């Protein structure tokens, strides 16, 4: 029997290594190139509206879905109903969004670990900050060399009512999936947003390849290492469990 029943993987910087700053630059350029002509909104006010919407989702207290807050904020900033552009935005994430892929790379061990966990009967969940629609998140999962069908649950802005590092985000996953933190391992690269899950009883593994550590916390406080180290940890536990 495997040590953990559930494995919650962060996406950006964990399953999908990336240069976050470069990724944002490429994403903004591609988004504006596609959306400015369609919306007739200039690049700066359009991106100001996007970032305001992201900020509002980050502060969601659970009263509604992140998706609802996104569109409410977009509408308020753009002073018009932006929801009719949702299909166009989804199409962007399936097509032109690929320009941002240059800021990412594939981690071959991600596929190996996912297959290993599946063989062991573990539940796989993508616990990525739910500020994107499905199309954007599914596309990034594919960039990682993975398939959305590998995962029992994937957090996106249309199924979540909180964001990391709010503990409500992790509690919501547990509630929806019917899982318990004590039987679960959270794997992520962000000290503040991912390791906070330990407060609910999750075991954690901090991936240091694309480490985000805004507060310069001592990483020795957490089980940590490269993705290769995580693979060693994973397979060692399986063979000794």
pLDDT grade for 2, boundaries at 50, 70 and 90:
low
**Ranges of each domain in the chain:** 6-19+104-240, 21-101
Nearest Cα to Cα of residue 74 among 59, 85, 60:
85
CATH number given to 6-19+104-240: 3.40.50.1000
Record the pTM. 0.95
Nearest Cα to Cα of residue 223 among 193, 191, 201, 192:
191
Nearest Cα to Cα of residue 202 among 167, 154, 230, 150:
167
Q: How far apart are alpha carbons 228 and 107 in whole angstroms?
A: 10
Asked if residue 57 lies in contact with residue 131, where contact means CB atoms within 8 angstroms, the answer is yes
Average pLDDT over residues 132-139: 98
* pLDDT (tens digit per residue) in 115-125: 999 999 999 99
């Amino acid at each position: 029997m495997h040590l953990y029943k559930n494995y919650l993987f962060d996406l950006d910087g964990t399953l999908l290594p990336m240069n976050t700053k470069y990724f944002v630059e490429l994403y903004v350029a591609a988004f504006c190139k596609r959306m400015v002509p369609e919306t007739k909104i200039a690049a700066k006010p359009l991106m100001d509206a996007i970032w305001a919407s992201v900020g509002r989702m980050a502060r969601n207290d659970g009263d509604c879905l992140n998706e609802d807050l996104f569109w409410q904020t977009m509408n308020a900033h753009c002073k018009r109903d932006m929801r009719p552009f949702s299909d166009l935005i989804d199409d962007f994430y399936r097509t032109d969004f690929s320009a941002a892929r240059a800021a990412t790379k594939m981690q071959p061990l991600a596929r190996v670990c996912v297959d290993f966990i599946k063989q062991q009967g573990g539940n796989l969940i993508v616990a990525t900050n739910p500020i994107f629609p499905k199309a954007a998140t599914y596309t990034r999962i594919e960039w990682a060399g993975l398939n959305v069908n590998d995962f029992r649950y994937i957090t996106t802005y249309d199924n979540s009512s909180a964001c990391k590092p709010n503990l409500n985000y992790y509690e919501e996953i547990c509630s929806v999936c019917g899982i318990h933190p004590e039987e679960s391992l959270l794997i992520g690269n962000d000290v503040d947003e991912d390791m906070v899950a330990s407060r609910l009883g999750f075991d954690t593994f901090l991936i240091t390849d694309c480490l985000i550590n805004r507060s310069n916390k001592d990483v020795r406080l957490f089980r940590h290492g490269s993705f290769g180290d995580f693979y060693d940890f994973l397979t060692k536990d399986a063979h000794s469990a």
